[in-house]
């Protein structure tokens, strides 16, 4: 999950099925942002879905050209991980201090992810006290296959970029839309893509 404190300027990169998007923002105040740079280019879905070396090379050229034609100057990038390749869940643990939590949670992860821990890239965040049990804490857990994460990182860094964060699409979308929301009502986000639809509640 994303953790970008102290890295300076960065931009976000989304490699979709039929388009590639990049955006860089600068903070203008509490809950307000200025647009620094924006990049968009359509792309052949077959190119994105192919794993051949030639397709990777051509896709890399398209991304580099798009960034070069935008006003984005930094090499620091936050990347999205497709929801089809990631798993997220929320679970509860007994209330404890952060030091204990950091030590204990690694022994509980295997209960909540659909793959062997050794094959997974796992991250978590403390959401706070459970709304239904004051003696428990809520934990947000995200995981993806280690080989998928490493392949994507290697591809992006091969373009001369510095990956400072990665995050599942569903989490990034939720944070972007509800960063300032104070509502305690359940809300549904529907993301309709070219090949799949994501639901986040």
Mean pLDDT of the chain: 86
Q: Is the CB of residue 64 less than 8 Å from the CB of residue 13? A: no
| Each residue's pLDDT tens digit, 103-161 | 888 888 889 998 898 999 999 989 999 988 999 999 999 999 999 999 999 999 999 99
**Helix or strand or coil: residue 7?**
coil
Q: Cα(161)–Cα(194) distance, rounded to whole angstroms?
A: 27
Tell the CATH superfamily of the 11-82+145-200 domain. Answer: ATPase, nucleotide binding domain (3.30.420.40)
| More confident: 143 or 30 | 143
CATH number attached to the domain at 85-143: 3.30.1490.300
Q: What is the pTM of this model?
A: 0.78
What's the sign of the alpha-carbon dihedral 172, 176, 180, 184? negative
Where do the domains of the chain lie? 11-82+145-200, 85-143
């Amino acid at each position: 999950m994303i953790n970008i404190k102290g890295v300076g300027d960065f931009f976000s990169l989304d490699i979709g099925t039929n388009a590639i998007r990049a955006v860089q923002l600068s903070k203008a105040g509490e809950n307000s942002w200025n647009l620094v740079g924006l990049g968009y280019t359509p792309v052949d879905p077959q190119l994105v879905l192919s794993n051949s070396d030639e397709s990777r090379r051509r896709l890399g050229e398209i991304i580099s050209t798009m960034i070069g034609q935008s006003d984005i100057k930094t090499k620091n990038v936050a990347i999205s991980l497709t929801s089809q390749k990631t798993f997220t869940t929320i679970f509860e643990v007994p209330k404890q201090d952060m030091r204990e939590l950091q030590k204990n949670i690694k022994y509980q992860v295997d209960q909540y992810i659909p793959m062997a821990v050794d094959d997974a890239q796992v991250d978590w965040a403390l959401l706070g006290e459970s709304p239904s049990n004051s003696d428990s804490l809520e934990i947000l857990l995200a995981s993806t296959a280690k080989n998928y994460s490493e392949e994507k990182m290697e591809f992006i860094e091969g373009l001369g970029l510095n990956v400072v964060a990665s995050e599942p699409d569903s989490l990034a979308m939720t944070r972007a839309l509800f960063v300032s929301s104070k509502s305690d009502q359940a809300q549904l986000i529907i993301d309709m893509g070219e090949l799949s639809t994501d639901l986040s509640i």
